[in-house]
Amino acid sequence: MGRRAKHKQGAPAPYVDAADKPSAKKLGKRKAEDEGTRNVKKMKAGASEGKSLSKGSGKGKENAGKAKGGEKGSQSVKTKRKEVEEEEEEDEDEDVEMAAGGSSEGWEDVEEGVSLKVAAKSLFHGSDDDEGVVGDLDDLEIDEDVDELDDDLLRGPVQELEFDSDEDEDPAPAPVRLKGKKSKQQERPAKIIPTLSDASSSSSDEEEDDEDEDGPITMANMEKRSRAIDAKVVRDTELDLEEMQAAVKDGEEDGDDFDGEEDEEGEGEEGEGGFSLPTAEEREEEKKAGGPQVHAVQRRMRECVRVLENFRKLGAKGRSRSEYVSQLVSDIASYYGYNDFLAEKLFQLFPVSEAIEFFEANEIPRPVTIRTNTLRTRRRDLAQSLINRGVNLEPIGKWTNVGLQVFESSVPIGATPEYLAGHYMLQAASSFLPVIALHPQPGERVLDMASAPGGKTTHMAALMENTGVVFANDANKARTKSLTANVHRLGCKNVVVCSYDGREFPKVMGGFDRVLLDAPCSGTGVISKDASVKTNKSDRDFTLLSHLQKQLILCAIDSVTPDSKTGGYLVYSTCSVTVDENEAVVDYALRKRPNVKLVDTGLEFGRPGYTSYRGKTFDPKVALTRRFYPHVHNMDGFFVAKFKVEKRSKQLQKKDEEAEGGVAGEVEGEVGGTSFAFDSDEDRPYLQESKRKSMKAKGLHVRPRTQSKPTLPAPSIATAVEASA
Ligand SMILES: C[S@@+](CC[C@H](N)C(=O)[O-])C[C@H]1O[C@@H](n2cnc3c(N)ncnc32)[C@H](O)[C@@H]1O
């Protein structure tokens, strides 16, 4: 609850409306195209006309005018939200529940499971630096499985949740009728981004495809239509990229930067174009008066984006860039419902206007997708069966041969006979990625170190054709129940479920050909499913999570046998977009384990990982990692890195053991005598800083710092471009 999608942004407009109202910016560049090809941004423009703050609207005066016209409301953002909430409650409650991953049921188990907490606590204490740790996992809200939809949708149909509540002729789980209010999924036909190879192979099919645009999807035309749609989305995406690069270039030419460090003053006139940045006093007054009005916030955000994109020309004299940034971040936080800390953290990841697109995309649910279980059926057979039941679906894209995107359904997609028979898994498209990257082979010995509820485990079992063995581990015993249930339902016979803290590997067991570490994380990539992330994450959570992830990744590396004849790989993934949980962890692993190297993920799309970020420089090979974003790829925010583990030279091994000193001895593993202790020296300043903050928050006396604060400076323009390449 408390999501802007619910309170401020109307349901995405149906196709036709959306076509009539593309964003101002895009209108100039693109002809109105087949609505089926519209990506998330285009839809958004039409869907939230007058409300959306997407890139186009950020620049379009037209929209600014509309927002101005709507300024008559006298309520604050919060009051306004509350009112809208009441109005919409009946219609949308179920919808939001679903979008949030419907996770309430799946998550209740998590609370019950104490094993993780106990184990984690003891392990933290066992580590080198537990004095510096001011909390443990008890205090952490780790994202555990919001990228998996299986548990949620098992208990309720996708479309049914979105239909009029008075359609009670078809109670769940019986099929619901398609008449009446359209589901959001119907209104939101955006495709998940395909690969460029899709585009090139499909051009000849496109015209034909247009002809049967309105006809039913059949097995015969399904692939073809999908390819054509994919191709158009690719074109859109390329245009978006061009636009973004042009915007960045403009900024460069104008001396604009994204690092926020060079806090120069603007040259423009204060009040130019009817907008003037509030002073500190005005902001204070606004706060006292109960916060800004919703339309005023919208307008101010647009104006700030516009100014920041061309600061030298548009920034008011005497006002600094950081004042605009600070105003914008504060408005983003109140408008989208984030705490200030997280709003700023996420804002810093992108160039200004792209940041708004990211926040906007978090308000829109991602497409519903399913993964064919090839142990039980073939995708074309599954698609046919579901089409016969009234499900409107298409293959996700060329990059997966098992995924289907569900657009609408007259039956509960989580309770069809095919679902119950294990023919498919309800699974976010992003969740396919780490398994594709790991590429497990038949006959191998594989470890899924943090596996519940088993979306990726069962995918791996299928790729291995039920041969070899997958050890599916999860520290949370309660969660292994749903994991076991999925393993059974999908007919995986090569899976062994176990429950250890991942940091106990390879002591428990080692010598794996491949390891997947789909790490516990903050979930900043799945905010559209779990809006609680917006407010429940603090600086300290990220410090603790990053620390845990670094410990886990070293254990995962040491669990891989470099002697593997077929493998020797580790894939590290998270459903988070923060650098601390991704590139920083990967870079740490590279430094601590010289016997591993990053290799290409084999994924055909995704942005390269940051090699430098806010003053921190990572190994250049970190560019081989891949980032996925809701606003770019129309899938959950995700991160994937693939490592090849090689033999350690005796010298290196000795050196490492010496460097790790006594700590290595504490938890020495079984595999090849390799040490796998976590060396947390480099985290110590961060942990200490976190402790300071926590003490301050409690009103305790804090001694002055002995060393400088471990903060990272803002990103340079080069970094921003690099990240968006
Ligand atoms: C992102 S979820 C995994 C989702 C899973 N890979 C899938 O595809 O269904 C992260 C999981 O890590 C588990 N976890 C948290 N801390 C852990 C630890 N120290 N060792 C092992 N598992 C842990 C959580 O219980 C949670 O199930």
CA distance 305 to 353: 6
**Residue 694 belongs to a domain:** no
Q: Which domain holds residue 48?
A: 1-100+189-362
User: pLDDT tens across 168-224, in order?
Assistant: 233 233 222 222 233 333 343 366 754 333 333 333 333 333 334 445 555 556 556
User: What is the helix, strand, coil percentage profile of the chain, to 5?
Assistant: 50, 10, 40
Question: Domain containing 570 — which CATH number?
Answer: 3.40.50.150
User: pLDDT tens across 27-61, in order?
Assistant: 223 333 333 333 333 333 333 333 445 443 333 33
pLDDT band at residue 275 under the 50/70/90 scheme: confident
**Residue 284 belongs to a domain:** yes
Q: Averaged over 316-342, what is the pLDDT?
A: 94
Token pair listed for 97: 């529940």
Check residue 648 and give its pLDDT: 84
| Minimum CA distance residue for ligand 1 atom 6 | 451
Residues 456 and 379 in one domain: no
Predicted ipTM of the assembly: 1.00
**Closest atom of ligand 1 to CA, residue 575:** 1
Total domain count, the chain = 3
**Residue 688 belongs to a domain:** no
* Contact residues of ligand 1, CB 6 A cut-off: 116, 120, 142-145, 148, 431, 449-456, 474-476, 479, 501-503, 518, 520
Distance set, CA 240 to CA 25, 42, 164, 244, 304 (Å): 11, 10, 36, 6, 21
Domain boundary among 427, 445, 464: 427
| Minimum CA distance residue for ligand 1 atom 25 | 476
H or E element at residue 391 = strand 391-395
User: pLDDT tens across 380-427, in order?
Assistant: 999 999 999 999 999 999 999 999 999 999 999 999 999 999 999 999
Q: Is residue 246 over pLDDT 60?
A: no
Token pair listed for 273: 């174009």
Distance 144 CA to ligand 1 centre (A): 6
User: pLDDT tens across 124-152, in order?
Assistant: 222 233 233 333 444 465 665 444 443 33
Check residue 313 and give its pLDDT: 86
Q: Could you tell me which residues come within 8 angstroms of residue 298 by beta carbon, excluding any fewer than 6 positions away? A: 51, 53, 67, 335
Question: Domain containing 387 — which CATH number?
Answer: 3.30.70.1170
Residues 21 and 81 in one domain: yes
Q: Which is nearest to 429 in space by CA: 409, 403, 453?
A: 403
Token pair listed for 188: 């939101």
pLDDT band at residue 312 under the 50/70/90 scheme: confident
pLDDT band at residue 316 under the 50/70/90 scheme: confident
Check residue 229 and give its pLDDT: 63
Distance 502 CA to ligand 1 centre (A): 9
Check residue 306 and give its pLDDT: 93
Residues 346 and 478 in one domain: no
State the average pLDDT for the chain: 70
Residues 554 and 418 in one domain: no
Residues 336 and 377 in one domain: no
Residues 356 and 371 in one domain: no
**Residue 175 belongs to a domain:** yes
Residues 586 and 663 in one domain: yes
If DSSP codes are grouped into helix, strand and coil, which group holds residue 238? Answer: helix
User: pLDDT tens across 509-525, in order?
Assistant: 999 999 999 999 999 99
Distance 353 CA to ligand 1 centre (A): 34
First to last CA, the chain: 34
Check residue 217 and give its pLDDT: 54
Q: Averaged over 546-555, what is the pLDDT?
A: 98
Rg of the chain, C-alpha, whole Å: 25
**Residue 445 belongs to a domain:** yes
Check residue 318 and give its pLDDT: 86
Peptide bond into 506 cis (omega under 30): yes
Angular region, 291: left φ>0, alpha ψ -120 to 50, beta rest: left
Check residue 218 and give its pLDDT: 56
Q: For 10, list phi and psi in degrees, rounded to 5.
A: -65, 170
Q: What are the catalytic residues?
A: 575
**Closest atom of ligand 1 to CA, residue 520:** 10
Q: For 388, list phi and psi in degrees, rounded to 5.
A: -60, -25
Check residue 251 and give its pLDDT: 46
**Residue 701 belongs to a domain:** no
pLDDT band at residue 16 under the 50/70/90 scheme: very low
Give, for ligand 1, the residue of 136, 141, 142 to mutate: max count of ligand atoms closer than 8 Å to Cβ: 142
Residues 354 and 382 in one domain: no
Check residue 260 and give its pLDDT: 43
CA distance 646 to 649: 9
CA distance 256 to 329: 18
Least confident stretch, 289-298, 452-461, 477-486, 716-725: 716-725
More confident residue, 571 or 316: 571
pLDDT band at residue 283 under the 50/70/90 scheme: confident
The residue with tokens 């294990």 is 422
Give, for ligand 1, the residue of 118, 144, 153, 460 to mutate: max count of ligand atoms closer than 8 Å to Cβ: 144
| Minimum CA distance residue for ligand 1 atom 13 | 450
Q: For 544, list phi and psi in degrees, rounded to 5.
A: -65, -40
Residues 33 and 22 in one domain: yes
**Residue 58 belongs to a domain:** yes
Q: Could you tell me which residues come within 8 angstroms of residue 618 by beta carbon, excluding any fewer than 6 positions away? A: 583, 584, 586, 587, 609, 610, 611, 612
Domain boundary among 331, 362, 393: 362
Check residue 555 and give its pLDDT: 98
Check residue 460 and give its pLDDT: 98
The residue with tokens 């051009």 is 203
Residues 371 and 467 in one domain: no
pTM for the model: 0.66
Share of the chain above pLDDT 70, in %: 54
Domain boundary among 398, 427, 456: 427
**Residue 714 belongs to a domain:** no
Distance 94 CA to ligand 1 centre (A): 27
Token pair listed for 46: 């039409």
Residues 615 and 638 in one domain: yes
Residues 472 and 324 in one domain: no
**Closest atom of ligand 1 to CA, residue 502:** 20
What is 1-70 written as a DSSP string? ---HHHHTSPPPPPHHHHHH---HHHHHH-----GGG--HHHHHHHHTTTT---HHHHH-HHHHHHHHHG
